[in-house]
Structure 1
Amino acid sequence: MSSVLHPVGPEDKGTYWRRRLVVVLVLVVVAALAVLGVRALTGSDDAAAQQPTKLDPSTVASGTTASPTGTPTGSPTGSPTASGTATGTATATDTASRTSGGACPAQSLSLTLTSDYSAYGPGKTVRLVLTVENTSQTTCSVEVGTAVRTFTASLDGRQVWSSADCQTQTASQVYDLEPGGRRAMPVTWSRQRSESGCPTGQPMVEPGNYTIDGSWNGVDAQPVTVALTS
């Protein structure tokens, strides 16, 4: 202990103390560098752990799309997958339940025919709407394309117009209807007469109270009456 506090040797005491101070400083620097190195490694690991895992876009897309049988076509592979998997599974299951009913049977549907107005002034275009509603407790699909719906107008029992007379193209439109869901099928009538084959030059109809009929897939809706004035 005395040799540490009171160094002996040919050199003076100041030289020995300076040497000891240099050694202590070197040890302090080495220890500080070691601590910084450990912190740098630890911080890098923490930063890597905090980075969110990116989900594969193709996996997300397939996870939210149901196949015809209602089975998801893919599953998320990224981590974390808790919310992604839950969302994908829930969406696929919901889609499967919405399409599990197939085509809507006739007894599960109601059909309503309406007109925007009960009376139309001179030159006003008549707008009619057929609405189909799913009255069942099961989601099912309906075809509402132009090929399956027809509107007619009659005056005193004589048909003067049909939406099918001048229809040159038909389009298929299939939609899923949830319980209580509705789908509207609108059409406009310029008040011009029509005949089968759609001959040109047909005159406009005269004023009067017209009976409007609407049918969808062979089912007739309750007719409505509209007044056309001059």
Structure 2
Amino acid sequence: MSSSTGPRRRHPPSVYWRRRAVALLVLLLLVGGIVWGVSALLGRDAGAAPPSSGEGTPEAQEQPTEAPTTPAPTPEPTTGGVAACDAGTVEARVALEPAALAVGSGTTFQVTVRNAGQGPCLLDAGPRALVATVVSGADQVWTSAQCAGDATNELLLDAGAEAPVSLAWDGRRSAEGCPADQPFAGAGTYRVGLTLGGQPVGGEPVVFTIG
């Protein structure tokens, strides 16, 4: 019994090559589509995820503004860690012997300074800082500041300690720059008082006479 079907027809080789090329192209398209889809999905998820910290954002890159600081107060002049004496804690008294002077004669005011503060301090007792002033009524006759130059006399005083200071007066009137041709103070009653840094110290002025 013979078969009714004849031998299978063979296609030319070019047909098989075309089919293989089409299959390979379809496979590449499928793989490329899958890769693109996964990449798009990952990119969308990454863009939607909130940042875990503020790094990289304009707000995070802004530096915090520092609060303005108040300048520190200027410390008082010190030497070896000891503060300058305050006029409010310095006591001074003047002694004048004799209390009556002759016209044309000078004298030296003997001053005793005392640190009435609670701790040691440095006192400039030079004639420009610790100033003696002689007046007659409302007339300023002489002041040690006008003839002091740059002289200083620094004293280190413990709490409660005293020190002697001498302020010389030649008996003449004084003027700014200390001219040498000033006249002598005439006969009359005078008072000598003390200031430290422009503040009165030593209580009431001491009265003396010239005659």
TM-score by length of structure 1 reads 0.49
Going by fraction, where is helix more abundant, 1 or 2? Answer: 1
Rounded to whole Å, the distance in 2 between the matches of 1:147 and 1:161 is 13
Q: Which has the larger radius of gyration?
A: 2
TM-score by length of structure 2 reads 0.53
| Residue in structure 1 matching 2:186, options 194, 200, 206 | 206
User: Secondary structure at 1:223's aligned position in 2?
Assistant: strand
Which residue does the alignment assign to 1:226? 208
Which residue does the alignment assign to 2:38? none
* Displaced runs of 4 or more, over 4 A: none
Which residue does the alignment assign to 2:7? none
User: Secondary structure at 1:212's aligned position in 2?
Assistant: strand
Conserved in 2, the CA contact under 8 Å of 1:146 and 1:170?
no
Deviation per CA, 1:172-207, whole angstroms, max 9, x where unpaired? 332221222112221121211222233342221211
Number of residue equivalences: 130
**Residue identity in the other structure for 1:147:** R
Rounded to whole Å, the distance in 1 between the matches of 2:92 and 2:128 is 16
Cα shift at 1:148: 0.7
Which residue does the alignment assign to 2:172? 192
Rounded to whole Å, the distance in 2 between the matches of 1:193 and 1:214 is 17
- For the aligned residue pairs, the C-alpha RMSD in angstroms reads 2.3
Structure 1 spans left out of the alignment, 5+ residues? 1-98
Structure 2 spans left out of the alignment, 5+ residues? 1-79
Which residue does the alignment assign to 1:154? 135
Query: Given the alignment of the two structures, is residue 111 of structure 1 paired with residue 121 of structure 2, yes or no?
Result: no
Rounded to whole Å, the distance in 1 between the matches of 2:87 and 2:179 is 35
C-alpha change, 1:152 and 1:182, in structure 2 (3 Å) is same
**Residue identity in the other structure for 1:154:** V
Rounded to whole Å, the distance in 2 between the matches of 1:125 and 1:172 is 22
Conserved in 1, the CA contact under 8 Å of 2:103 and 2:185?
no
